Copies of this chain bind each other. A is one copy, B any other.
């Protein structure tokens, strides 16, 4: 994420001291393979009609995929590894309109974690083929969960047994 390099746009504000990001640690469990090589390639928001993308799990985490095929939609969490983390308010369109970081879904945030709901097309070994991503090729993967909505439906159905 280059945003605008280190230059601030008019009205943008940053933390007044370096961000200490050591309250907890993350492990990258895999990588996302998308057709989007630079930020300008990325759609504003992923679509279930979008291109197939690959969610490649590190082999040691593959056993945790057991049963994933029963879910049609998944929530993915990933690390927006190119994002600066100190912006408190930003001007996404560089048009002078500034908004707080937490009122935007911009990748530039204190903890640059992206979330997407994707459609699971199929599984190929340690890899999931999905549609609905909008992030850069090579983005580190943090988590795979059944989508919240699908999960609720399934829980309800089970309750009727």
- Give the nearest-CB partner of A141 in chain B: B111
- Give the nearest-CB partner of A71 in chain B: B103
Check if B22 sits within 8 Å of A25, measured CB to CB: yes
Interface residues on chain A, number (Cβ under 8 Å): 58
Q: A117-B148, A142-B113 are in contact. Are A66 and B25 (CB under 8 A)?
A: no
Name 30 A/B residue pairs within 8 A (Cβ), A-sorted: A16-B60, A21-B24, A21-B25, A21-B27, A23-B27, A23-B79, A23-B140, A24-B28, A26-B26, A44-B155, A45-B148, A45-B151, A45-B152, A45-B155, A61-B88, A61-B110, A64-B101, A64-B102, A64-B110, A66-B100, A77-B111, A77-B115, A104-B145, A104-B146, A105-B146, A105-B151, A110-B143, A111-B143, A113-B143, A117-B148
Can you add 15 more A-B contacts, CB < 8 Å, to A109-B145, A113-B142, A117-B148?
A16-B60, A21-B24, A21-B27, A23-B140, A24-B79, A26-B111, A45-B155, A63-B89, A64-B101, A67-B100, A77-B113, A105-B145, A109-B143, A110-B143, A115-B148
